[in-house]
Amino acid sequence: MDLRYTIGILVLLLFFLFGSCSKDDSGNGQTFNEDDVLRAVENQFRFTPNQNFEAIYLARRVNSSLDWYLSFTTNGTLEVFLTTDTNDDFSFRGNYTYLNDQITIEILDGPFNGLVENSTIIMPQFGLVAAFATEQMIAVCIGHGLTTQQPPRVNANYGCPLINVQSETSEDNAIELVHSAVPFSFPVAGSVFRQQDRIVNRSENPIITRGYGIYRQSGNDFYATFRIAEDFADFARGQLPFPVGTVNAPFNDINVLSGRMENNGTELFIDQLQTEAGPCQLR
């Protein structure tokens, strides 16, 4: 699987998919309410507006199918990575400010030299700018520099124990921290990837679901969300630059995770994945 060219589909193209996807709270043992976890996260990580930040966003623009990756730094600089429809990668520089509750972006070179745009709406979540929009663009956070405790390595992949979710259904999960599924394949700090394989009646062809999100860590406490796109569509209803249809988070069971890191980051316990089965192990 080439993660680099599927991340745009799995994260941002949620905005362009019509249909419905019901949440199933009956699957993984103990039920953890997503909104309760989100409230705990917001209490743990307070959002402070009008400050420079370090984060990367996947964006789409009006009348374009190209993936834009916007990398913001705390010194006010911006780098834009663009993947064309022929999978060619380009980068160009810019600056930004975040003042008076508005983000202003200025592109300094490349094919969009001189472009200036202002945010029209900003959604805070997980203690950072989780998503924003301008009159021409929607941008969703896929990574950030606020996690002070780093995993043991880049592309830290954890294999989780096989669990039973229904009488004839088992589930295999994998979690990856700090993936590199972006143009030029650089590590995306604060990013998380989950793959869920559901095996029904011992079938050799599991139902596979994948999703990208962001995570935060405080001490050993771990939190992750895969539903920023869905939350932003609700938050910004009627204020986005183009129609987005019905937006759904990727997983049927739960899209906001909580847990803890143990044993110097080599073990990851996820509350929603039956912790009594044991931790997800770094592999």
Helix (H, G, I), strand (E, B) or coil at 185: helix
Helix (H, G, I), strand (E, B) or coil at 12: coil
Name the average pLDDT for the chain. Answer: 89
The predicted structure's pLDDT at residue 8: 52
* Domain assignments of the chain as residue spans, ordered by start: 23-44+146-224+255-282
Q: Taking the CA atoms of 22, 197, 142 and 278 in sequence, report the sign of the dihedral they define.
A: positive
DSSP state of 7: H
| Neighbour tally for 94: CB within 10 Å | 22
Look at residue 23 and tell me whether its pLDDT is greater than 60.
no
Angle at 59 between CA 54 and CA 65, to 5 degrees: 160
- Amino acid (one-letter) located at 103: I
**pLDDT tens digits for range 192-241:** 999 999 999 878 899 999 999 999 999 999 999 999 999 999 999 999 99
